[in-house]
């Protein structure tokens, strides 16, 4: 029983870190602060993945989001602002209407999710998932896997081309 | 015990924060951050359902594909933002009012 309580406490800590830092991303005035708060959001989501038994996905989240996308976003911030501009403020507009809309979306989603009777087979035992995911990707999902690799190639070439064409 | 509902509430909160970020921010890089929040919330749902409802790993494989698409989206989005910065000297989205490059 005590162990159960501890597990719940850990989940609530991770959830609080995730949602709290996401709130900082949204409400912070400084873009740099937003970007670094996003780091904690990604960490929190990775911890929640690990809590749900998705160990491979947690590692993937760390490598791709924290190591890749976040660095890319930081590059975006640095390259589009003058470095000596210490303010780096991001203006907001239509704040109050959007707050109402976002709250309405949250309440609607939460009510729907609570009222629906999801099929709940109970949590599956947490076993290492890497080998099974690799098998699924190579057997059942081989076509989407190849399409995803082509998509990444196209994105790579496209990104290089878009940036280069601007400089000519 | 932590159940499916807890994950769904966290993901709903992330989703509405992401919507808020996309709708209020003027800075294009900040809008991209909001899109990442939304994609993360969808991923969290997929992982939770894969654990509690489906009992197999298909949801996690879907989440991996979402991560792939998110990486491609971030790369292309930032390329467009940089190219826009070069042309209009600003990343405020309300100043991007022309399609001509």
pLDDT digits (tens, 9 = 90+) for A66-108: 888 999 888 888 887 765 565 666 677 788 899 999 999 999 9
Q: Do residues A46 and B63 touch, judged by C-beta distance below 8 A?
A: no
How far apart (Å, rounded) are the C-alpha atoms in residues A114 and A106? Answer: 12
pLDDT tens for each residue of A11-37: 999 999 999 999 999 998 888 889 999
- Output the CA torsion sign for A66, A67, A72, A75: positive
- pLDDT for B17 equals 95
Domain boundaries, chain A: 1-115, 128-168
What CATH code would you report for A1-115? 1.20.120.1200
How far apart (Å, rounded) are the C-alpha atoms in residues A64 and A67? Answer: 5
Q: Predicted ipTM? A: 0.90
Report the Cα–Cα distance between both ends of chain A, in Å, rounded.
67
- pLDDT for A48 equals 94
Task: Find chain B residues with C-beta within 8 A of A81's C-beta.
Answer: 91
And the tokens for B27? 């800075």
User: B82, A53: Cβ pair inside 8 Å?
Assistant: no
Q: How far is B83 from chain A (nearest CA, A)?
A: 6
Q: Closest partner residue to A34 among B33, B68, B92, by Cβ?
A: B33
Interaxial angle between packed helices B28-49 and A2-27, expressed in degrees from 0 to 180 and rounded to the nearest 10: 160
Domains of chain B: 4-95 (1.10.287.3510)
- pLDDT for A118 equals 80
pLDDT tens for each residue of B9-62: 999 999 999 999 999 988 888 999 999 999 999 999 999 998 888 778 889 999
pLDDT tens for each residue of A134-162: 999 999 999 999 999 999 999 999 998 88
Nearest CA-CA partner of B70 in B30, B92, B42, B98: B42
Q: Is B27 helix (H, G, I), strand (E, B) or coil?
A: strand
- pLDDT for A91 equals 74
Q: Is B93 helix (H, G, I), strand (E, B) or coil?
A: helix
Give the count of alpha carbons within 13 A of A48, CB side only: 32
Q: Closest partner residue to A137 among B15, B26, B61, by Cβ?
A: B61
Q: How far is B45 from chain A (nearest CA, A)?
A: 10
pTM of the model: 0.89
What is the overall mean pLDDT for chain A? Answer: 87
């Amino acid at each position: 029983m005590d162990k159960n309580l501890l597990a719940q406490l850990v989940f609530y800590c991770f959830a609080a870190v995730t949602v709290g830092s996401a709130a900082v991303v949204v409400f912070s005035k400084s873009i740099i602060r937003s970007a670094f708060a996003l780091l904690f959001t990604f960490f929190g989501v990775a911890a929640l993945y690990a809590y749900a038994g998705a160990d491979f996905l947690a590692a993937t989240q760390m490598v791709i989001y924290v190591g890749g996308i976040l660095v890319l976003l930081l590059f975006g911030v640095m390259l589009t602002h003058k470095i000596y501009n210490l303010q780096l403020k991001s203006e907001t507009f239509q704040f109050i209407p959007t707050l109402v809309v976002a709250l309405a979306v949250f309440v609607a989603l939460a009510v729907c999710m609570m009222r629906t009777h999801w099929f709940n087979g109970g949590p599956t035992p947490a076993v290492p998932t890497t080998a099974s995911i690799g098998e699924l990707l190579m057997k059942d999902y081989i076509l989407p896997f190849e399409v995803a690799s082509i998509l990444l190639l196209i994105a790579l070439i496209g990104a290089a081309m878009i940036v280069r064409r601007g400089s000519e | 015990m932590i159940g499916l509902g807890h994950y769904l509430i966290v993901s709903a909160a992330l989703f509405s924060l992401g919507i808020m970020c996309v709708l209020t921010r003027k800075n294009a890089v900040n809008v991209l951050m909001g899109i990442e929040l939304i994609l993360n919330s969808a991923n969290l749902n997929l992982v939770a359902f894969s654990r509690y409802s489906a009992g197999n790993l298909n949801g996690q494989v879907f989440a991996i594909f979402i991560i792939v698409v998110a990486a491609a989206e971030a790369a292309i989005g930032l390329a467009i933002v940089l190219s826009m910065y070069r042309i209009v000297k600003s990343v405020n989205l309300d100043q991007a009012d022309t399609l001509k490059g």
